[in-house]
């Protein structure tokens, strides 16, 4: 472990209220044990005054920690849990609508084998299922090409996808401002994702202009990663669940 990582871990521990609560609790137990079960209390004339002073301070500290937990920590924990649950739900809704637009655009592109039922759309949330449905194809009206070619024009599907990316960017912005993210890598990932969303919102239709957009949608719908290849979980949803 590097020295920098060691200092970061020490800082994280020392800045944790729970650590100081446990330390305070052990101190109360220790001084009570010494006073009750050892000979110090009976043999030292100064001990009763020290014991009364220290135990009073420690007990008051425990009461303060308890009030802090009830007034600050517990409400904040509930808020954080609600924010995270809402983000997961919202992201899945956004992704479902994007997949729906991909299916609609693919049908316009010549694919007659796709279903528009809600059951079929929801089944495409599974990364392997989406890849199986859109991964094959060499002609312009096959596989993912049927969708990508429709992004050459400002179609209703194109506009709807851009709108959903705007919704996603707003959600990420809200999370970064209102949710406590202790992991630096997770924070950096979300910040890069927010910047990428802002960039994709400026996408213009066209063969070259929409490449980045189509590539990003392929990544989140199939779990594609340039470093690891195809993963078993949507990288964005995975990160949301872990923060």
Q: In the chain, what are the domain boundaries?
A: 74-242
Name residues whose C-beta falls within 8 Å of residue 19's C-beta, 6 or more positions apart in sequence: 13
Rounded to the nearest 10 degrees, the angle between the axes of helix 184-200 and helix 211-222 is 140
Closest listed residue to residue 213, CA positions, set 160, 163, 148, 167 = 148
Main-chain dihedrals φ then ψ at residue 201, nearest 5 degrees: -65, -20
Name residues whose C-beta falls within 8 Å of residue 20's C-beta, 6 or more positions apart in sequence: 65
pLDDT per residue as tens, the chain (243 positions): 567 777 777 777 777 777 888 888 888 888 888 888 877 766 677 788 888 888 888 888 888 888 888 888 888 888 888 999 999 999 999 999 999 999 999 999 989 989 889 999 999 999 999 999 998 877 888 899 999 999 988 999 999 999 999 999 999 999 999 888 888 888 999 999 999 999 998 888 887 778 899 999 999 999 888 777 888 888 888 888 888
């Amino acid at each position: 472990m590097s020295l920098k990582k060691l200092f970061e871990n020490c800082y994280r521990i020392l800045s944790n209220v729970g650590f100081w609560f446990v330390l305070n609790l052990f101190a109360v137990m220790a001084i009570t044990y010494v006073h009750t079960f050892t000979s110090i209390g009976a043999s030292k004339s100064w001990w009763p005054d020290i014991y009364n002073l220290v135990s009073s301070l420690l007990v008051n500290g425990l009461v303060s920690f308890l009030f802090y937990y009830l007034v600050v920590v517990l409400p904040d924990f509930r808020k954080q849990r609600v924010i995270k649950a809402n983000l997961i739900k919202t992201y899945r809704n956004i992704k479902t609508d994007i997949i729906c637009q991909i299916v609609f655009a693919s049908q316009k592109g010549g694919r007659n084998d796709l279903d528009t039922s809600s059951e079929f759309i929801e089944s495409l949330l599974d990364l392997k299922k989406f890849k199986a449905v859109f991964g094959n194809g060499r002609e312009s009206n096959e596989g993912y090409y049927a969708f990508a070619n429709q992004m050459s024009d400002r179609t209703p599907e194109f506009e709807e996808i851009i709108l959903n990316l705007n919704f996603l960017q707003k959600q990420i912005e809200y999370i970064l401002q209102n949710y406590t993210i202790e992991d630096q890598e997770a924070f950096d990932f979300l910040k890069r994702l927010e910047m990428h969303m802002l960039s994709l919102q400026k996408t213009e239709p066209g063969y070259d202009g929409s490449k980045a957009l189509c590539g990003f949608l392929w990544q989140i719908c199939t779990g594609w990663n340039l470093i690891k290849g195809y993963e078993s979980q949507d990288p964005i949803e995975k990160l949301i669940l872990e923060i």
